[in-house]
Structures are given as C-alpha cells and as structure tokens.
Chain A
Amino acid sequence: MEWQWDVLPQFAFNGLREGAVFAAVALALVLIFKATTLINFATGELAMLGAFLMYILNVEQGMWLWLSIVLAMLISAGIGAAVERALVRPFDPDDHLPVVLITLGLFLIVNAVAGDIWDYQLRPVNEPFGTFPSWAPSSQELKEVADGSISCVKVSSGNFVEATAGAADATTCELAGRTYWTILNANVDYRTLGTWVTLAVALAALFMVLGRTKAGLAFRAVSSSAESARLVGVNTGRTLGFGWALASVFGTLGAALVAPSLNGVNPNMMQFILIYALAGAALGGLDSLGGAIIGGIVVGLIKGVVVSWFFVQVMGWAFFSILQLATAFMLILVVLLFRPSGLFGTRRIERV
C-alpha cells in the first residue's frame, strides 16, 4: 500500500464536480419529496427533456448557450407544473402508490418518446465553460515556428511541443489555450469551476425564492403541513405545482451541466445520474434541501476519493473501479442503518 497524496486533490476535485451535478438532481428529488412525500422517478427523464430543449435552442436554433439553458429551465418548469396538474394532483395525496406508479410510467414514456424523436445517438453540445477571458492561464504562446512564421505553439512543462496552424494573433492563441488551472498538483478544468459557481448561484436564488417570496413561504408551509397550510388559505395545489416546477428547473440545470462531460445529450443520459442523486438525497435526508446538496457532494467524493483514490489507487484493488455505485450505496447503507432519516433529515418520532 502506497499513500499517493499527490494525486488525491485531483480525485477530490473530480468528486466535487460530479457531486455538484448529483446535488442539483438530488435537490430536484427533495423538492418534490418535501411537498408530496413521494419520490419522483421521472426526475431524471424530465431533466433529460430539459437538456434536449437546451440542445434544440442552442445547437439547432443557434441561440446563445446561456440563454438556451435559462429558457430550457423555464420551459421545464412549465412542463413540471403541467405534469403535477395533469397526472399527480387528481390522485389522493395520502395514497402514494398510484402516484409512484405514475412517475415510473412517466419515466418509461418520456424515455421512449425521446428515443423515438431524437434516437439514442449522442448529440454533441457546446461547452458552457470552454473559453475563459484573456486573464485566464493559457498554455499556448505566440512563437516563431520552423518555417519562420508566427504561430500558436502549445506549451507544456516549459517545452514547446506542437505548433498549431492557423492561430495568428494573441487573442485566438490564448483562447485556444489550456482550459484548466493547476491547483495542488491537480488540473481543475474550467468546467469544474463553472459547475460549482453555477450551482452556487442557483442555490442562492433558490433559497432567496423560498425565503423571501410569498410562493416560497407557501411552499415551506405546505412542506411542513399541507393540511394546516390549506386551513390558513394557502392554495396547496398551485403550491405543489410550484414545487414540481422548481424541481424541474434544478433537474434541467443538472442535466445541462453534466451534458458536456457526457459529450452530448441522449435519452439515457440521466438514468445512472438519477441513481447517484437518489443516493445523495437519501444520505442527506429526503426532506432536507441542505442535506440533498451535501449528500450529493458526499456521493461524488465517495466515488472519487474513497473508491477511485483509496481503493483503486492506494490499495491497488483495481476491480473497485467498476464498483463505484455499489460502494456509494454501501457507505450510504452504513449511514442509514444508524440514521434512518439521513444525515440532515427530520427524525420521525411517534408518540404513543
């Protein structure tokens, strides 16, 4: 066994990046669970739909990427609210089984319809964090190359290793440069940094909406006790729709952030991510928004640090690289055995 501390930061950064995506999707699960105390198994597929909306707007229609993401989130919100109104609200909220079956059915239907419309080919998307401003570090410099012309030359570890044809000015040279920072001997790419910043902004907006707006107050009231909220005049139906809309927004955000790592969108893109997110939500506590975020990030870190760094790299147990999901669930099982409501979930106490 050899402790390889030098590579640990890289695995930690990987875990934090993946964890951020799991956190966004876990948040979508928890938002619906808080409102309805049921797990929406179609969360991932609705998020995938959002990612396809982003793809259509940006890649097919040529709209600015970030505007496409925001628009996709808004349209997804509408779809989420419509699903709640049409397929969930007609059922008795205390009878969970039919609604769970509906979300399972929705999972299959959305996936099959998406597969029929867009087929299962990977459709490349644009990188939202690919090119950073000129002050960002670049690994390319303008140099005179063999034929005497000035060109963009890739620099790595102080050696000029490759001349790139066609790059002739400082701006293009820097923009075409390296897309990662080196921190603690780890390469943290702009996608990772961008994912964290985007999630942080989205979370700040979410907590502002929930804490400072009437709709947010109503949502919290319904989450606390739907019956009491109804008695004080809160329109619970509309509020639940609002919860589904918020969940769809975060699901779409998670899908949009992970799509470049998957090299594109396809109808199956969210299926395993949903499982990791579900693990994160269960770990954090299914009714805790903060728990979902921490749970998602912890699951990402388990994948990166515990499995890939400790078991595979340090212990040399190569077979663990295919047991990332199993190990994540294993550790979560340990936590849940001792804290059944998750790390931050509300402990249920029944009086006798």
Chain B
Amino acid sequence: MAKTIDARGRSCPEPVIMTKNALDESPEESFDILVDVEVAVENVTRFAKNSGYKVDVEEDKSYFILHIQK
C-alpha cells in the first residue's frame, strides 16, 4: 500500500521538497503524490526519475496522482 502525500495547492517547489523528504526518509517505499497543476506533475516526475524511481501519472477529475516506486 503506497503512502499518500497531498501536495495539492502548494507553491513551487514545495511538491518536490515534500517528495524528496518522503523518499529520503523511506527510500524503498512507494508513494502516491497528489498535485493539482501540470507544472508540479512535471517537476515531481523529473525529480523522481532523476533519483532513480519509476513514475506513473494518473489523472483524476481535478488533480493528478503520481505513483512513485523503485
């Protein structure tokens, strides 16, 4: 079960920092990051991929879920 982190409505670069903190704390765990703007999708995805994680983006009605795993 992936842990959920709600980064919706956060200014740049908070979604990335929240993701970074989560991955630093539990590098082997999977996370679902919730964001609501395209730029956060891009930034978090780029960060997670550069850190060696796999990212799947799922679009909900008004937001995005980024599934991040090793």
Task: Specify whether A and B are partners.
Answer: no
